[in-house]
Amino acid sequence: MIYINLFSNQGKVAIVTGGGSGIGWVMAETLAESSAVVVLLGRTKEKLEKAASKIEEKTGVRTDLMVCDVTDNESIKMTIEKIHKEYGQIDILVNNAGTTSQGTVHTLSENDWNHVMDTNLKSVFFMSQAVVPYMKEQEYGRIINTASVAGDVSLYFSSVYGTSKAGVIHLTKQLAGELAGSNITVNAISPWFFKTDFNREKLENDEFRSMIENRTPMKRLGQLEELKTSILYFASRGSSYTTGQNMFIDGGMTTFGL
């Protein structure tokens, strides 16, 4: 029973960016299943409403939402202030909002570069910056960042996506060191290919999907349910001595040699 209690988030308030679909939805659902009150952030209210309703229906735990543009620091500040005012605490932040743009050094535009960097990396820093004062005041915090296998190995179809995720991995280590003395942990997960709206179009291409499966030692895509234990671990009291880490959830892809 003591081990189960270590992974309970009852009485905690969690924020999940990009929580309206895919990995963000699964993260939010996992936190609600561990009894945390969850607030979903995103730009599309309809998606957030659908996700919040389904999560609350499944878990019986309060799941709220707020529209927020995480590429806009003023929007971030106002949203975080509003959440803290309403709940009186912010215990867990999941920086999951992300996007990509296809293109190499030959084709990638400046606008595409800026959009991906703002969404994937800039938002992680400024969301963290906004919640840290509250976490420091309560002497407790968990920050979880969604990085990617692409932050560790290069992918031929995007010069900017992997670069942004490499930045997330380094920023995770940087913030972990800066915040360790305040009982705030900062960790990251790096998924490989999971079937979500984010990459559905690519994976519907049989040749591409076959390439991904053959490149993966387990010879299959990840199932979204397989992300839950890593999220729960990093979000809970059970990970109190773990910080600055990046967990690959990749079916062995990053161990693959010749």
Q: Which amino acid is at 113?
A: W
- In sequence order, the 6+-apart residues with CB closer than 8 A to the CB of 4 are none
pLDDT in tens, the chain (258 residues): 456 688 999 999 999 999 998 999 999 999 999 999 999 999 999 999 999 999 999 999 999 999 999 999 999 999 999 999 999 999 999 999 999 888 889 999 999 999 999 999 999 999 999 999 999 999 999 999 999 999 999 887 788 999 999 999 999 999 999 999 999 999 999 999 888 777 777 788 888 889 888 988 999 998 999 999 999 999 999 999 999 999 999 999 998 765
Residue 189: exposed, middle, or buried by beta-carbon count in 10 A (0-12, 13-18, 19+)?
buried
- Residue-by-residue DSSP string for 126-151: HHHHHHHHHHHHHT-EEEEEE--GGG
Residues acting as catalytic residues: 161
Output the six-digit token pair for 15. Answer: 């924020």
Q: Which amino acid is at 97?
A: A
User: pTM for this one?
Assistant: 0.94
Hey, what domains does the chain have and what are their CATH numbers?
A: 2-251 (3.40.50.720)
State the Cα–Cα distance between residues 184 and 91, nearest whole angstrom: 9
User: How many CB atoms lie under 10 A from the CB of residue 4?
Assistant: 8
